[in-house]
Amino acid sequence: MAYEMLVGLEISDPAIYSQYREAMAPILKRFGGGFRYDFTIAEVLKKETDNPINRVFTIYFADQASRDSFFSDPDYKKAKEKFFEKSVTATTILAEYQRPD
pLDDT above 80 for 6: yes
From edge to edge, which strands make up the β-sheet containing 2-11?
34-40, 55-61, 2-11, 88-99
When pLDDT is averaged across residues 53-57 and rounded to a whole number, the result is 98
pLDDT the model gives residue 100: 83
Q: Kindly list the distances between the CA atom of residue 51 and the CA atoms of 1, 11, 30, 64, 77, in Å, as whole numbers in the listed order.
A: 30, 11, 31, 25, 23
Reply yes or no on whether the pLDDT at 20 is more than 80.
yes
Compute the distance between CA of residue 85 and CA of residue 25 in angstroms, rounded to an integer.
16
Average pLDDT score over residue span 66-93: 98
**What is the pLDDT at residue 1?**
81
Mean pLDDT of 66-76: 97
For residue 101, pLDDT beyond 80: no
